[in-house]
Every structure is written in structure tokens, then in C-alpha cells.
Amino acid sequence: MPIQPDKPIDMGVTKFCETCGLCAENCPSGSISKDNNRTSEAVYSTTNYGVKKWPFDACKCKAYWDDHNISACGNCVH
């Protein structure tokens, strides 16, 4: 059965993230920007452009994992 595209639903997630910031505060590598401005630009080499999102430095995050011999810290998803 084909799915018909519809308009996005505003569930308040963006507003929540704009006011929370705990992921950036608790990121030990500083990979998550504390700047509250989303962008559709490719801020880092691992960032795809064209989708409005908060900047995240995946290379810096992975380097932290490697330096501390861990597979992930998980602070951003707790």
C-alpha cells in the first residue's frame, strides 16, 4: 500500500531541545554545540547540508571514544 506524504507534525521536540541543552552540557568531548542555532550548512566534514539541525562534530566524538577506549559514552542519549 503506497503511503501518501503529508505535512510535518509539530510535536514540540525542537522547542524542547532549544530550552534543554543537557546533551551539550554533558558531552565530555564537547562535540555537541552549545550554540542554540540550528543550520542547514555543513559545519563539519561529517555534516550533511540541506537539513536544518544543530551542529555535531562526529569526528571529535569518535576521537574521544578512541582516546578513552570506549565504544560510546552515551551521555547525549540518556
Can you tell me the mean pLDDT for 29-54?
Answer: 86
Per DSSP, 5 falls in state: P
d(CA 5, CA 40): 22
Q: What is the pLDDT of residue 28?
A: 95
pTM above the 0.75 mark? no
Portion of the chain with pLDDT greater than 70, in percent: 99
Instruction: Say which amino acid occupies 6.
Output: D
pLDDT of 53 > 80? The answer is yes
d(CA 78, CA 62): 18
